């Protein structure tokens, strides 16, 4: 790992467009800030065992070593930077360095069909390891990595979430502990988020059912003072029969309640937050709520690829919101939050969070200047 240093507050972007082909290969096209364009192709054979690679990242007991992550991450990097794209990437990296900027590698892919979405989505791009620099793109202060889901009809990115931006951003923290399931450190997570989010108005919603959760987010939007951030901590799972994601909530009578992404999004309507962080298992899966919110044009969404350890969630949340509260872009905040997971000795869990963006300015409050840098 590189030694800590102040990260650059200005971002350069390097976009890689990934398109799966019928034979299992990928077409790639890349463009970078002031460096031009390049194209490439990844053969089907290079990607055949990537689904297995993603499976190995699963599970609360995953303790994959950094050596394993470097080896597999090098293969992911080679797939992402195929042919002439790597040369263009290195030019973009040099340009960013010359301006003391951070280079954000943004992976663009379309959701034209479920098969295409799953194929590209399940590749663990967050593992990408640059062997020449000896660095993971997701952990290195000079780079960051995120995803951009492209839609055929890219309708406006949540105008209502931008309509009223108060000097003091508002964050809704919803906590859903379900009876009969493993007890989570929800109180600790809430306390650490509040402590970290200095300058942000935090509201707590405990054991919310679907109706209460939607009402809380919608009422704030109707009032003209919407929540810029929504942080949800609790349980999420994939139904083994339908393979669809469900958010596990708690009904008013105390019984367990399950909500599908489609149900929640339809009820939210236009009153959705600017930034949603889902600290639940499987929230970032192909059919997860994070992915669905990104497809619904929520500007900034973070979810975990598979199962995630409770301790990882608490450390991740505290670090992430500390950075977001002082005006950092999400691409930089998530890097620091990944390092917080790594420092807890949780192996490869740092690679599970997935950042989806739909806008260039990913700060919690884009109308206010950032309030400084942090080591």
pLDDT, tens only, 266-320: 888 777 889 999 999 999 998 899 999 998 889 999 999 988 888 899 999 999 9
Rounded average pLDDT over 194-210: 92
Whether 135 shows a pLDDT value over 50: the answer reads yes
Question: Which of 207, 257, 236, 214 lies closest to 303 in space, CA to CA?
Answer: 236
pLDDT in tens, 144-157: 999 998 875 544 55
CB atoms within 10 A of CB 61: 8
pLDDT over threshold 80, residue 203: yes
Q: Which residue did the predictor score with more confidence, 220 or 166?
A: 220
What does the alpha-carbon distance between residue 15 and residue 108 come to, in Å, rounded to a whole number?
7
pLDDT at residue 56, rounded to an integer = 75
Q: Which of 121-125, 128-132, 147-151, 213-217 has the highest mean pLDDT?
A: 128-132
Angle in degrees, 0-180, between the axes of helices 310-325 and 330-343, rounded to the nearest 10: 140
DSSP state of 288: S
Give, in order, the Cα–Cα distances in Å from 121 to each of 53, 195, 368: 13, 34, 33
pLDDT > 70 in the chain, percent: 87
- The residue that leads in pLDDT, 251 or 47, is 251
Q: Give the pairing of strands 275-279 and 229-233.
A: parallel
The DSSP element (H or E) to which 121 belongs, if any, is helix 114-121
Specify the range with the lowest mean pLDDT, choosing from 47-51, 52-56, 177-181, 280-284: 47-51
What separation in angstroms does the CA of 139 have from each of 91, 191, 285, 312? Answer: 20, 26, 21, 16
pLDDT value at 375 more than 80: no
Alpha-carbon span 364 to 323, nearest angstrom:
10
pLDDT, position 291:
92
Q: Given this model, what pLDDT does residue 161 score?
A: 43
Instruction: Give 373's pLDDT tier (boundaries 50, 70, 90).
Output: very low
Q: Which of 41-45, 58-62, 71-75 has the lowest mean pLDDT?
A: 58-62
- Average pLDDT value over all residues in the chain: 85
Enter the DSSP assignment of 368: S
Predicted confidence (pLDDT) at residue 126 exceeds the cutoff of 60: yes
Question: Looking at the whole model, is its pTM more than 0.75?
Answer: yes
User: Which pLDDT does position 232 carry in this prediction?
Assistant: 97
Could you write out the DSSP letters of every residue in 53-115?
A: HHHHT-STT----HHHHHHHHHHHHHHHTTTTHHHHHHHHHHHHHHTTPEEEEEEEEE-SSHH
Contacts of 137 (CB under 8 A, 6+ apart): 77, 105, 128, 129, 130, 143, 144, 145
Residue 254 exposed, middle or buried by CB count within 10 Å (0-12, 13-18, 19+): exposed
Better-predicted residue by pLDDT, 226 or 248: 248
Q: For residues 361 and 329, is the Cβ–Cβ distance under 8 A? A: yes
The DSSP secondary structure of 199-220, one letter per residue, reads: TSEEEEEES--HHHHHHHHHHH
Between 61 and 184, name the one with better pLDDT: 184
């Amino acid at each position: 790992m590189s030694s800590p240093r102040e990260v650059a507050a200005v971002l350069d972007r390097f976009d890689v467009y990934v398109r799966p082909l019928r034979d299992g290969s990928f077409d790639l096209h890349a463009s970078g800030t002031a460096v031009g364009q390049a194209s490439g192709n990844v053969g089907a054979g290079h990607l055949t065992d990537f689904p297995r690679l993603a499976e190995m990242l699963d599970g609360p007991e995953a303790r994959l070593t950094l050596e394993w992550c470097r080896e597999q991450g090098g293969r992911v990097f080679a797939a992402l930077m195929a042919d002439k794209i790597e040369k263009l990437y290195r030019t973009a990296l040099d340009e960013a360095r010359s301006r003391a900027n951070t280079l954000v590698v943004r992976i663009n892919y379309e959701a034209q069909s479920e098969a295409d979405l799953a194929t590209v989505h399940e590749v663990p791009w967050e593992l990408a390891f640059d062997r020449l620099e000896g660095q993971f793109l997701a952990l290195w202060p000079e780079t960051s990595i995120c995803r951009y889901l492209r839609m055929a009809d890219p309708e406006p990115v949540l105008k209502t979430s931008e309509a009223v931006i108060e000097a003091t951003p508002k964050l809704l923290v919803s906590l859903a502990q379900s009876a009969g399931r493993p007890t989570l450190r929800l109180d600790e997570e809430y306390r650490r988020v509040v402590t970290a989010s200095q300058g942000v108005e935090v509201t707590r919603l405990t054991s919310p059912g679907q109706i209460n959760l939607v009402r809380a987010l919608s009422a704030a939007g109707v009032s003209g003072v919407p929540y810029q951030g929504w942080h949800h901590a609790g349980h999420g799972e994939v139904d083994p029969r339908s393979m669809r994601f469900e958010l596990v909530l708690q009904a008013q009578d105390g019984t367990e309640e399950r909500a599908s992404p489609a149900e929640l999004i339809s009820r939210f309507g236009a009153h959705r937050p600017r930034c949603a962080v889902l600290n639940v298992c499987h929230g970032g899966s192909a059919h997860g709520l994070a992915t669905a919110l990104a497809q619904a044009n929520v500007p900034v969404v973070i979810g975990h690829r598979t199962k995630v350890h409770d301790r990882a969630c608490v450390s991740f949340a505290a670090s992430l919101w500390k950075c977001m509260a002082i005006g950092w872009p999400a691409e930089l905040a998530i890097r620091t939050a990944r390092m917080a997971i790594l420092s807890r000795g949780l192996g490869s869990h740092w690679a599970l969070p997935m950042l989806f963006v739909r806008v260039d300015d990913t700060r919690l409050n884009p109308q206010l200047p950032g309030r400084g840098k942090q080591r």
